[in-house]
Chains A and B, each alone.
Chain A
Amino acid sequence: MNVIIVGFGFIGRKLVRAFYKKIDLIRNVDASFKVIGVSDSKGYLYDSKGLDLERLSYVKRLSEYSGKYREGGSTEEIIEKGEADLMVEATPTNINDGEPGLSFIKAALKKGIHVVTSNKGPLVVAFKELTSLAEKNDCLLLYEGTVAGAVPVFSLVRKCLQGDIIRRIVGILNGTTNYILSRMYFEGTSFELALKEARERGLTERDPSYDVDGIDAACKAVILANALMNRNVKFEDVKRTGIRRVTQEAISLAKKSKFAIKLISTIDKHIEVSPKLVPINHPLCVHGTLNAIHIETDLAREITLIGHGAGEETVSAVLNDVLTVMKETASPI
């Protein structure tokens, strides 16, 4: 399988390193696996014989990989070459119009290239369009890394809950707000101080409103609703309240009644992101930067998944999606 990687930021670089470290495991699934192209916003590397993963895993910028870098070259060019079987799309998230990832994903699917993405933007903006396009072109479009990082929620439902109807999903889908609320709960710090700490630790987006006003959690709720509950909702359909007004006093009062306050995404007949009281003995009541997703179905009833929702751990989800594409598209022997 010929793979191209679009986006050489944090996830792109960590993925290359994971490919290099786990090459034996990957080649056991597909002996012909190779990365033939990697692009960023300034250009691309391309070699149809396969790039050297060891060399690639030690460069910070694509231009440092000598000999093959084509400055000014576009991602569309490497898609159009027609040699790729799978594109991993890991460009920065843009929830306004989904670009540039949205155009890259569309171009790849139209060309019959399977797509794995960790980028919420395109799915929030055009979920139905992309899944229809994938179906029409007989391609897989997998996006495990877009919601709750390494927590395998889509894979679980796709593989293990095929006969269940999901009635309700509630979850902590943003690790930054969970960190802030946990600091307020355990240390008694103010919202402002906990936010400052989160920024210093590099846990917030450049614009913290993305986290604290529930924008990130709302995007994930949209993807969960569309992917797992067959809805057709947009970001604007989410009733959203962030955590800026959650005071230390509110957290103390909740604590006295054995609740913690968490920013919760709820998908049932409504779709909502807001601070909620979570009983401290409920499986969703996880602290620090952890994410948790509680699924209620007609048959299995309740299942809770807990794990790391962002950062390097997301590579686990992306790599699993890549291996899934390889396995599900392998020719029968």
Chain B
Amino acid sequence: MKFDLTIALADRPGQLLKALKPIAKNGGNIISIIHERENPSAGFVPVSLVVDFPSKWNMQKTINDLRKIGVTLIKAEEVVDTAHITAILVGKADLERIVQEGLRNAEIIGFEVSAPTSKDACLKLEIEVPTDLLDETLENLRRVAESEDSLVILPI
């Protein structure tokens, strides 16, 4: 799982290397690193990292180890890869049920309805879903829509 970390390092030689050691020791794989040397603040340089850890535990251990060696942690949060999906439903479906049961793991970021009163009402949904829950979410959406006798049209 990926984490977005921002740490503040004293503007002295060797500080970055010191901070990277606990990350490596705890199994972290650095995906990206931005060392903003040109923007020091009160003698500290912000460093932003995206690190892939085997588990949350490894991440927590790293944070503890960093604190022990005096590295200031500004931000530590999980990076959730999301997929943006467009889906179209045709049929007079129970929207509340579709949202509650079919889209439990998704965030609805937009929708448009066409001919809402006809039996062939159309609903376009724009949703964001964590990538690792994508298959499950689309399967749920399909199952709920089909049980409502609606046609669900998903991207290829």
By a beta-carbon cutoff of 8 Å, the part of chain A in contact with chain B is: 170, 241, 245-247, 249-250, 252-254, 256-257, 259, 261, 264, 266, 274-279, 282, 284
Contacts and interface: CB of A to CB of B under 8 A. Distances in A.
A246 B124 contact: no
Contact of B153 (A261, A279, A284): A261
A284 B155 CA distance: 12
A311 to B, nearest CB: 26
A183 B115 CA distance: 21
A67 B83 CA distance: 69
Interface in B39-93: 86-88, 90-91
Nearest 6 interchain pairs by C-beta: A249-B114, A249-B122, A253-B124, A245-B151, A277-B155, A276-B156
Given A249-B114, A249-B120, A275 B153 contact: yes
Given A247-B120, A257-B126, A275-B151, A282 B156 contact: yes
B155 A250 contact: no
Given A253-B88, A254-B88, A277-B88, A266 B156 contact: yes
Interface string B120-156: 1010101000000000000000000000000101111
B114 A277 contact: no
A279 B122 CA distance: 19
B156 A278 contact: yes
Given A253-B112, A277-B153, 13 more contacts: A245-B91, A246-B151, A247-B115, A247-B122, A249-B90, A252-B114, A253-B114, A254-B124, A259-B155, A261-B88, A264-B156, A276-B153, A278-B155
Nearest to B156: A276
Interface of B: 86-88, 90-91, 112, 114-115, 120, 122, 124, 126, 151, 153-156
Interface majority SS on B: helix, strand, loop or mixed?
Answer: strand
22 contacts: A241-B151, A246-B90, A246-B151, A247-B120, A247-B122, A249-B90, A249-B120, A249-B122, A252-B114, A253-B88, A253-B124, A254-B124, A257-B124, A259-B86, A264-B156, A277-B87, A277-B88, A277-B154, A277-B155, A277-B156, A278-B155, A279-B155
Contact of B90 (A247, A257, A278, A284): A247
A247 B120 CA distance: 7
B156 A284 contact: yes
Contacts of B87: 277
A257 B110 CA distance: 11
A281 to B, nearest CB: 13
B37 to A, nearest CB: 39
Contact of B156 (A170, A245, A249, A254): A170
Given A246-B90, A277-B86, A277-B88, A254 B120 contact: no
Contacts of A259: 86, 155
Contacts of A277: 86-88, 153-156
B122 to A, nearest CB: 4
Contact of B154 (A253, A256, A276): A276
B96 to A, nearest CB: 20
B151 A276 contact: no
A254 B90 contact: no
Contacts of A170: 156
B153 A250 contact: yes
A264 B112 CA distance: 24
A249 B91 CA distance: 11
Contacts of A257: 86, 124, 126
Contacts of B126: 257
Nearest to A269: B135
Contacts of B120: 245, 247, 249
B89 to A, nearest CB: 9
A250 B124 CA distance: 8
Contacts of B122: 247, 249-250, 253
Contacts of A250: 88, 90, 114, 122, 153
Contacts of B155: 259, 276-279
